Amino acid sequence: MLHTFAMIQRSLIVRRLGRVEYGAALELQKETEAKVKNRTEQDTLFLLEHPHVFTLGRRARQEGIMVSDELIKALGVDVFEINRGGKITYHGLGQIVGYPIFNLSPDREDVHKFVRDIEEVLIRALTDFGVEAFRVAGYTGVHTQQGKVAAIGVHISRWTTTHGFALNVNTDLSYFNLILACDGEPVTSMERLLGHEVEMKKVEDRIVKHFQDVFEMKIEAPVFVTT
């Protein structure tokens, strides 16, 4: 029976949501996780952009934010403590955030492979734009010679995934100076690497294409939601 299930190509719903407040995205993830876990909804990939927010993963400490609460509020940055892996990171405008809500059971129950496959998707997408990107042994995420360009942090419950990745496209990198992100590793963006802004939709298009290829899934018609 396991063999029969594994032979069926999975379908993936892609929802491209535009700009979404972080708290609203968390609720959306929870609702979708429950449906995907119970198999009342197909695996789903959310692609979106957040207003300024710092998120603290399970290994993060409050000291990772290196400025006062007053300055954080003045800058309009929200702060959330969440259950994904990893430490502290920044999400903001000009960054593509992806939340793959996948049921890995029964044929894909391998957390490390899931993360490596997300890295592969992003590496291929970056390559399409002429960015040389790679993995670094012992670290999660996607790296370049000028620094880390994408962060990955996931949570898995009963083999259903939440949270995901953040790819710096046209991101204001100065916000990373306010936190101790990625163990102090420098961060960069596609804009900095290429010397010009990059159209977000075109990057999303390549991410969707490579999710289809790497995860061997059939992509349902992407859903665009204007906000």
CB 190 within 8 A of CB 203: yes
As a whole number of angstroms, the distance between CA 114 and CA 211 comes to: 11
Confidence at residue 1, expressed as pLDDT on a 0 to 100 scale = 40
5 within a domain of the structure (yes/no)? no
As a whole number of angstroms, the distance between CA 194 and CA 129 comes to: 9
As annotated, the active-site residues are 182
4 within a domain of the structure (yes/no)? no
129 within a domain of the structure (yes/no)? yes
Strand order in the sheet with 53-56: 78-81, 53-56, 88-91
191 within a domain of the structure (yes/no)? yes
Q: Count CA atoms within 13 Å of residue 10 on its CB side.
A: 26
Confidence at residue 225, expressed as pLDDT on a 0 to 100 scale = 55
Tell me what percent of the residues of the chain surpass a pLDDT of 90. Answer: 72
* Count of domains forming the chain: 1
- With the C-alpha atoms ordered 213, 222, 133, 65, is the resulting torsion angle positive or negative? negative
169 against 61, higher pLDDT: 169
208 within a domain of the structure (yes/no)? yes
pLDDT score of 6 more than 50: no
52 within a domain of the structure (yes/no)? yes
What's the domain range around 170? 11-221
CATH code, 203: 3.30.930.10
Q: What is the pLDDT of residues 170-214, one digit of tens each?
A: 999 999 998 876 566 899 999 999 999 999 999 999 999 999 999
Range 39-46 average pLDDT = 96
3 within a domain of the structure (yes/no)? no
**Long-range contact pairs involving 56-60 (C-beta distance under 8 Å, separation at least 24):** 56/80, 56/81, 56/82, 56/87, 56/88, 57/82, 57/83, 57/84, 57/85, 57/86, 57/87, 57/88, 57/89, 57/153, 58/83, 58/84, 58/85, 58/86, 59/85, 59/86, 59/87, 60/86, 60/87, 60/88
227 within a domain of the structure (yes/no)? no
Confidence at residue 69, expressed as pLDDT on a 0 to 100 scale = 84
**Report field, pTM of the whole predicted structure over 0.75:** yes
The number of angstroms, rounded, from the C-alpha of 174 to the middle of its chain's C-alpha atoms is 20
Tell me what percent of the residues of the chain surpass a pLDDT of 70. Answer: 88
As a whole number of angstroms, the distance between CA 157 and CA 33 comes to: 9
Q: What is the pLDDT of residues 133-173, one digit of tens each?
A: 999 998 899 999 999 999 999 999 999 999 999 999 999 99
CB 54 within 8 A of CB 22: no
